[in-house]
Amino acid sequence: MAATILDGKKLSAVIETEVKARVQVLRSAGHTPILATILVGSDPASATYVRMKGNACQRVGMESLRIELPTETTTVQLLDKIAELNANPDVHGILLQHPVPEQIDERLCFDTIDLAKDVDGVTCLGFGRMSMGESAYGSATPAGIMTLLQRYDIPLKGKHAVVVGRSPILGKPMAMMLLNAHATVTICHSRTQGLERMVAQGDIVVGAVGQPELIKGAWIKPGAVVVDAGYHPGGIGDIELAAAVDHCSAYTPVPGGVGPMTIATLIEQCVTAAERYYSV
For residue 205, list its beta bridge partners: 162, 226
Closest C-alpha among 259, 202, 225 to residue 12: 259
* 246 CB-contact burial (10 Å; exposed 0-12 / middle 13-18 / buried 19+): exposed
pLDDT of 1 reads: 67
The pTM (predicted TM-score) of the whole model is 0.96
CB count, 10 Å around CB of 150?
Answer: 11
Half-sphere exposure of 71 (CA within 13 A, CB side): 7
pLDDT tens track for 132-160: 999 999 999 999 999 999 999 999 999 99
Whether the pLDDT of residue 90 is over 70: the answer is: yes
Is 53 catalytic? The answer is yes
Q: Band of the pLDDT at 280, cuts 50, 70, 90?
A: confident
Mean pLDDT of 170-186: 98
Per the CB < 8 A criterion, the answer to whether 167 and 238 are in contact is: no
- Residue 118 annotated as catalytic: no
Helix (H) or strand (E) holding 184: strand 184-188
Domain boundaries of the chain, sorted by first residue: 30-116, 140-258
User: Which one of the listed residues 81, 97, 172, 238 is annotated catalytic?
Assistant: 97
From 7, 53, 238, 269, the catalytic residue: 53
**Res. 190: pLDDT tops 70:** yes
CATH T-level topology, domain 140-258: Rossmann fold (3.40.50)
Count how many residues are written for the chain: 280
- Strand duo 250-251 + 225-228: pairing: parallel
Distance CA(66)–CA(51), nearest Å, equals 9
> Distance of alpha carbon 249 from its chain centroid, rounded?
23
- Stretch (H or E) spanning 199: helix 195-199
- The span from the CA of 113 to the CA of 92, in Å, is 11
The H or E element spanning position 96 is: strand 93-96
Contact 84, 109 (CB under 8 A): no
Q: Are 30-116 and 140-258 equal in CATH topology?
A: yes
- Domain 30-116 belongs in CATH node 3.40.50.10860: yes
CA distance 99 to 110: 11
State the average pLDDT for the chain: 97
Which candidate in 81, 117, 118, 120 is catalytic? 120
Whether 120 is catalytic is yes
93-109: per-residue pLDDT in tens?
A: 999 999 999 999 999 99
CA 156 to chain centre: 19
Instruction: Report the alpha-carbon distance of residue 233 to residue 216 in Å, rounded.
Output: 18
pLDDT tens digits along 218-272: 999 999 999 999 999 999 999 999 999 999 999 999 999 999 999 999 999 999 9
